[in-house]
Amino acid sequence: MEKENQKLQASENDLLNKRLKLDYEEITPCLKEVTTVWEKMLTTPGRSKIKFDMEKMHSAVGQGVPRHHRGEIWKFLAEQYHLKHPFPSKQQPKDTPYKELLKQLTSQQHAILIDLGRTFPTHPYFSAQLGAGQLSLYNILKAYSLLDQEVGYCQGLSFVAGILLLHMGEEEAFNMLKFLMFDMGLRKQYRPDMIILQIQMYQLSRLLHDYHRDLYNHLEEHEIGPSLYAAPWFLTVFASQFPLGFVARVFDMIFLQGSEVIFKVALSLLGSHKPLILQHENLETIVDFIKSTLPNLGLVQMEKTISQVFVMDISKQLQAYEVEYHVLQEELIDSSPLSDNQRMDRLEKTNSSLRKQNLDLLEQLQVANGRIQSLEATIEKLLTSESKLKQATLALELERSALLQTVERLQGQTAELGGPEPGPAPPEPAGRRRPEPSPRQSTAPEPGSPPP
């Protein structure tokens, strides 16, 4: 009896926790029809093996994601990604089980611990010191730091893990963190040299220049580069400053399209608040507006921002500006009147960054080679099975012609034996004629045949 009570209590706690975790205002409230569409997809039998239509998923995400299914939908989107990309083009982590990782010790323990109380500090699920939320957060971050030794723990990651934890259980959240980092492309910005973050800041600045020139000029005039406001946007996927409903929508899109979404959201955010930003006339008030006021401007603006993101395509520019960044860095070294020491310093930095890139490329090459090998193996397998099938076809054809001959022979024999029988059935087309019915077959009388 007591056990039963405890069980009930526990499940009640779970429910309470779930309500607590999902207690946020949705940005694109999901209509009943859309929820039904999602539910249908989620409950499709054998779902994890069926490739769903990309268009359909895209439009469903666009129309909204019901809060109560959100975690499941993220898992579903990840599942679909893996189905459609059976040969990952990006580096993959070792496949150490979560439970194994939890048993190990991390050198990042201190860094993780001091950030636990400083991650969603006012959210009821995370605010209790060493409460369920903080413990799960600690476990995930610790496990990740062990899984990915290069990144380890980087400030900002705790927010990403936190958002996942609000929507699913601990181990699932860990798996989804892995997915976002390795498959959706979030990982590179957290590496210890943080060069990718700098490149991202440059790319954002160039995108602003392309799409919102007046705003770009305004910010430039006050010497405000994206690194003064956008670093947390990228490193926490907006989670450290923006309302949860908004962040959840950004996550929806990242699960669908990858980390480029952050650029789109940033650009769309700045664009849709341009008139307000232009009203501010000095560095402090502009940055303060972007950091504190903009995240809380209300649902309508948020919805507008999100819906714009769905129609943007900036991947070409992003590529071009990354290349441009490297070229500029080189030119900077070549042209600037620097002392030998500074020159040396810069060259060393460039060198190490190039080495890093080289390693990355090597890694990509390895992955690609692996992929080629596995594709080649697949081809071989397919070829083998093709030739087997050809042989089978041949055998079947031989059998068929043998059977045809038999039929003909039997027909000849029938004719020799009895001549034309009274009331014969009309002849069937050649080759499809059945052999004479054996007596056993007559137990299932054909229509029209005389009763026994």
Partner 1 sequence: MGWGDAEGMLWTRGLLWERVWNAVGNFLFKFLVIGSAGTGKSCLLHQFIENKFKQDSNHTIGVEFGSRVVNVGGKTVKLQIWDTAGQERFRRETYNSLAAWLTDARTLASPNIVVILCGNKKDLDLEREVTFLEASRFAQENELMFLETSALTGENVEEAFLKCARTILNKIDSGELDPERMGSGIQYGDASLRQLRQPRSAQAVAPQPCGC
Which residues form the interface with partner 1 (CB under 8 A)?
Answer: 110-111, 113-122, 127, 129-130, 134, 154-156, 158-159, 192-194, 197-198, 201, 221-225, 227-228, 231-232, 235-236, 240, 281-284, 287, 291, 342
Looking at the Cβ atoms of 118 and 213, the one nearer to partner 1 is 118
Looking at the Cβ atoms of 43 and 129, the one nearer to partner 1 is 129
Looking at the Cβ atoms of 35 and 198, the one nearer to partner 1 is 198
Question: Helices (H) and strands (E) in the chain — how many of each?
Answer: 20, 0
Q: Minimal distance in Å, beta carbon 387 to partner 1?
A: 55
Are residues 63 and 30 in contact, defined by beta-carbon separation less than 8 angstroms? yes
Q: Minimal distance in Å, beta carbon 60 to partner 1?
A: 32
Looking at the Cβ atoms of 76 and 159, the one nearer to partner 1 is 159
Looking at the Cβ atoms of 58 and 291, the one nearer to partner 1 is 291
Instruction: Return the exposure string of 252-265: e unless at least 16 CB atoms fall within 10 Å of the residue's CB, then b.
Output: bbbbbbbbbbbbbb
Q: Minimal distance in Å, beta carbon 374 to partner 1?
A: 35
Looking at the Cβ atoms of 117 and 185, the one nearer to partner 1 is 117
Measured between alpha carbons, how far is 186 from 180 in angstroms, rounded to an integer?
A: 6
Looking at the Cβ atoms of 41 and 235, the one nearer to partner 1 is 235
- Exposed / middle / buried, residue 356 (Cβ in 10 Å: 0-12, 13-18, 19+): middle
The type of residue at 149 is Q
Structure tokens at 157: 């990651």
Measured between alpha carbons, how far is 253 from 77 in angstroms, rounded to an integer?
A: 10
Q: Minimal distance in Å, beta carbon 227 to partner 1?
A: 4
Structure tokens at 222: 């006050």
Q: Minimal distance in Å, beta carbon 175 to partner 1?
A: 25
Structure tokens at 320: 């071009």
Q: Minimal distance in Å, beta carbon 173 to partner 1?
A: 20
Are residues 173 and 160 in contact, defined by beta-carbon separation less than 8 angstroms? no
* Whole-angstrom Cα Rg for the chain: 32
Q: Look at residues 155, 153, 165, 156 and name the one whose alpha carbon lies nearest to residue 18.
A: 165
Question: How big is the CA angle at 192 (ends 188 and 216), to the nearest 5 degrees?
Answer: 60
Structure tokens at 81: 């990604």
Q: Minimal distance in Å, beta carbon 241 to partner 1?
A: 8
- The dihedral region occupied by 374, where left means phi > 0, alpha psi between -120 and 50, and beta the remainder, is alpha
Looking at the Cβ atoms of 221 and 436, the one nearer to partner 1 is 221
Give the three-state DSSP class for 193.
coil
Measured between alpha carbons, how far is 220 from 93 in angstroms, rounded to an integer?
A: 40
Looking at the Cβ atoms of 102 and 231, the one nearer to partner 1 is 231
Q: Minimal distance in Å, beta carbon 230 to partner 1?
A: 8
Handedness of CA 200, 201, 202, 203 (dihedral sign): positive
Looking at the Cβ atoms of 77 and 201, the one nearer to partner 1 is 201
Measured between alpha carbons, how far is 185 from 235 in angstroms, rounded to an integer?
A: 12
Give start and end residues of each alpha helix (H) in 43-192.
Answer: 54-63, 70-84, 98-103, 109-116, 124-127, 132-147, 157-165, 170-178
List all residues 6 or more positions away from 245 whose beta carbon is below 8 Å from its beta carbon: 24, 25, 26, 27, 302
The type of residue at 53 is D
Q: Minimal distance in Å, beta carbon 200 to partner 1?
A: 11
Q: Minimal distance in Å, beta carbon 298 to partner 1?
A: 22
Looking at the Cβ atoms of 198 and 308, the one nearer to partner 1 is 198
Q: Minimal distance in Å, beta carbon 154 to partner 1?
A: 7
Cα 16 from chain centre? 29
Q: Which residue in the block uniquely carries the two structure tokens 């990651």?
A: 157
